[in-house]
Each structure stands twice: as structure tokens, then as C-alpha cells.
């Protein structure tokens, strides 16, 4: 009995192995047919939307980064896909072409590129842009050594942008020339400002108001405080003779408070300079300003004449502080 069972088991085992081998051959044949007709590829999607197929997903992303790097600025700091691609392995017809180039173009539209560059500023005004911090530091250090000016502030600012057009950096030598020119101009401007400050500090001052110019050049014919048969009281101003029509300049910034005929003063212009300081210009032949106008020191406001109580062309100049006249020669024509 055991012999018969063993014989049957051996027979069935042999038959099973034959069947299993047939199945393996059949399965291999099926796989071969499938692989002849189809190939494995990755379906690529972004935010659930299919954009194509690719054989090697890593190669695709490397190609994408390489194309962006080659086609844009060398100042790239970071390349980031706004939405990571989704990959799904599929079997597709072998006649299906890979779409790497098309996919790269599609993915480019979903990429954010960050650029880095360095601004060089003179007195907080951006003058140039360079590619690297080394270039910026080299440029700034060279110019500081050459100018040796503590008044000029040179600074370097690291900048990031996602707009490639904003980068627009210059060659180091070009940048250096431009910054040097700007620094030199700034040095000259500072020198001029200092000269102007020294000039202003040297100007005569009435109650804090700087008298920038003399109204006319001429000979003093009547001084402050003198008596004359032409007047009932002592002289309240200073008379300076000049040719008829000579331009009269306002001696400081201010506002015209009067510009009209005024009895013995003739054509009279009054200018308020603030701080209670007022100047009067009398006997003018012509008046070029009107009440309410703002004037700057040196502006021509009238012409020398002989209107009113006058014996010849001259300017009668008065300086008043809080309504009280003072001697103009305490401030002007005192050489």
C-alpha cells in the first residue's frame, strides 16, 4: 500500500513540476511580449495635472536645473520648484517618445529662481552692483585707501531678488570707475559745502538773520543818525549813491511786505526776514516785486532812482529790528 502511494505521489509531483515549468515559460513569454510592445515610464504630474512621460525622473530634474543655470544669470542663489512633480510608474507603448524637452519647458513655468548680488552705495545712494562679496569688498577697500576721506560713507549691501532684470551687475573695473567718480564728486561737494558754511559763518548777522549780499555798490553820501535840512529828524538809514537804474538786491531771504509809493521815501520796498528783522529800500525808480512775494538773498527787487524826498539817484537803506531802526553800518558797508 505504501509503495502504491509513493508511486502516485511521485507521479503527481512530476506532473506538477512539468505544469509549473510550462507556466513559467508561458509567463516569461507573456512578459517578453509585453516588454517588446511596452516600456516602463514615469507619468509626470503637477498639482494632479498630467504634463507628460519621462524615463528617468532624476535625469529630468538635473536637466531642468542645468538649463536654467545656463540660460540665466550666474548670480543664481537658489532654484526651487513651486510645486514638486508627482511621478507614477506606467507601462506605455514603445512607440511613445520621451518628452524630456517638453517637460523641461513645462516645469520651467513652475520654478522660482532666487538671485544674489551686492550693491555698493555712496552716502546711502546705490551707485553700482557687483556679483560677489569679494568683488564688493575689494572695490570698497581700494577706494577707501585711495581717497582717505572719513566724510564719505561707502557701504555694501547683500541683495536677493527673484527678478533677473534687477541684478544687472557690472564688470569690476567698470564698477570701480563709476564709484570712484561718484566718490570724487561727493568729496568736491563736501568741500564746497564746508566753504559755503565758512562763508555763511563769516557773514554779518542781524538778530540771527545772515546778510548775504550788499544791495548795491556805491559811495555813502549820508550816514545813519546825521541831521540835514532835508529832514525833520536824524537820518534813519544809510544813503548809497549809484547810477540811475542800478539793480538793487535784497540782502537776505524774506517776504515782501510792501512795494508802493510812500511819501518822502518815494517808491519803497519793505522785506520781512523773520526774527523781527526788516529791511527798507527807498527812492527806487522801478520796483520788480509785489507785496506777498517770497525773495531770496541776491534777488534783484528794484532799480536805483530819485523818487520822493531826494536830491539825486541813490538807495536809502534801512535795517529795523522789531520796528526800531538801527545803523546799517553795524552790519554792512563797515570796511
Whole-number percent of the chain with pLDDT over 70: 80
Do residues 151 and 220 share a domain? no
* Domain-located, residue 202: no
* Domain-located, residue 228: yes
Range of the domain at 310: 209-330
Q: What is the mean pLDDT of residues 60-86?
A: 73
Q: What is the mean pLDDT of residues 104-128?
A: 83
pLDDT at 246: 97
Domains: count for the chain: 3
Q: What is the mean pLDDT of residues 37-57?
A: 75
Instruction: Point out the least confidently predicted range of 78-82, 223-227, 255-259.
Output: 78-82
Domain boundary among 62, 88, 109: 109
- Grid coordinates belonging to 224: 545813519
Q: Is the pLDDT of residue 252 over 60?
A: yes
Cβ atoms of 250 and 295 within 8 Å: the answer is yes
Q: What is the mean pLDDT of residues 11-21?
A: 64
Q: Is the pLDDT of residue 247 over 60?
A: yes
Do residues 236 and 274 share a domain? yes
What is residue 31's three-state secondary structure? helix
Dihedral sign (CA 91, 93, 94, 96): negative
Confidence band for 289, pLDDT divided at 50, 70 and 90: very high
The phi, psi pair for 322, rounded to 5°, reads: 50, 40
* Domain-located, residue 97: yes
Q: Is the pLDDT of residue 30 over 70?
A: no
* Domain-located, residue 278: yes
Centroid of chain to Cα 251: 37
pLDDT at 147: 81
Q: Residue 227: which CATH number?
A: 2.70.70.10
Do residues 322 and 217 share a domain? yes
Do residues 137 and 99 share a domain? no
pTM, two decimal places: 0.53
pLDDT at 75: 84
User: 19: burial class by Cβ within 10 Å (0-12, 13-18, 19+)?
Assistant: exposed
pLDDT at 262: 96
Q: What is the mean pLDDT of residues 159-183?
A: 89
Do residues 216 and 294 share a domain? yes
pLDDT at 71: 61
Please write down the long-range contacts of 144-147, taking CB distance under 8 Å and 24 or more positions apart: 146/180, 147/183, 147/184, 147/187
Distance CA 38, CA 240 (A): 111
Residue that wins the pLDDT comparison between 305 and 149? 305
* Domain-located, residue 23: no
Q: Is the pLDDT of residue 17 over 70?
A: no
* Domain-located, residue 16: no
Domain boundary among 109, 134, 165: 109
Domain boundary among 157, 188, 219: 188
Do residues 251 and 305 share a domain? yes
Amino acid at each position: 500500500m505504501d509503495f502504491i502511494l509513493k508511486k502516485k505521489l511521485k507521479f503527481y509531483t512530476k506532473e506538477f513540476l512539468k505544469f509549473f515549468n510550462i507556466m513559467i515559460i508561458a509567463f516569461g513569454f507573456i512578459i517578453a511580449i509585453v516588454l517588446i510592445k511596452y516600456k516602463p515610464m514615469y507619468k509626470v504630474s503637477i498639482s494632479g495635472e498630467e504634463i507628460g512621460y519621462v524615463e528617468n525622473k532624476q535625469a529630468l530634474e538635473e536637466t531642468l536645473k542645468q538649463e536654467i543655470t545656463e540660460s540665466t544669470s550666474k548670480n543664481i542663489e537658489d532654484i526651487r520648484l513651486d510645486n514638486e512633480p508627482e511621478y507614477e510608474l506606467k507601462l506605455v507603448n514603445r512607440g511613445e517618445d520621451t518628452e524630456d524637452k517638453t517637460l523641461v519647458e513645462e516645469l520651467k513655468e513652475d520654478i522660482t529662481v532666487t538671485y544674489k548680488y551686492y550693491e555698493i552705495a555712496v552716502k546711502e545712494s546705490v551707485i553700482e552692483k557687483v556679483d560677489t562679496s569679494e568683488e564688493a569688498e575689494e572695490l570698497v577697500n581700494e577706494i577707501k585707501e585711495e581717497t582717505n576721506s572719513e566724510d564719505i560713507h561707502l557701504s555694501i549691501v547683500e541683495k536677493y531678488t527673484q527678478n533677473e532684470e534687477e541684478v544687472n551687475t557690472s564688470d569690476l573695473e567698470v564698477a570701480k570707475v563709476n564709484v570712484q567718480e561718484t566718490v570724487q564728486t561727493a568729496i568736491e561737494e563736501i568741500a564746497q559745502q564746508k566753504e559755503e558754511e565758512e562763508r555763511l559763518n563769516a557773514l554779518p548777522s542781524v538778530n540771527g538773520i545772515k546778510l548775504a549780499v550788499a544791495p548795491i555798490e556805491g559811495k555813502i553820501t549820508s550816514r545813519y543818525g546825521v541831521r540835514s535840512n532835508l529832514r525833520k529828524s536824524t537820518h534813519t538809514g544809510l544813503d548809497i549813491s549809484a547810477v540811475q537804474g542800478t539793480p538793487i538786491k535784497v540782502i537776505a531771504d524774506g517776504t515782501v511786505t510792501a512795494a508802493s509809493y510812500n511819501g518822502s521815501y518815494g517808491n519803497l520796498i519793505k522785506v520781512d526776514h523773520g526774527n523781527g528783522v526788516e529791511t527798507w529800500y527807498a527812492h527806487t525808480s522801478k520796483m520788480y516785486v509785489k507785496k506777498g512775494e517770497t525773495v531770496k538773498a541776491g534777488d534783484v527787487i528794484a532799480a536805483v532812482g530819485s523818487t520822493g524826498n531826494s536830491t539825486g539817484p541813490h538807495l536809502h537803506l534801512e535795517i529795523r529790528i522789531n520796528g526800531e531802526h538801527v545803523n546799517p553800518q553795524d552790519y554792512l558797508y563797515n570796511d
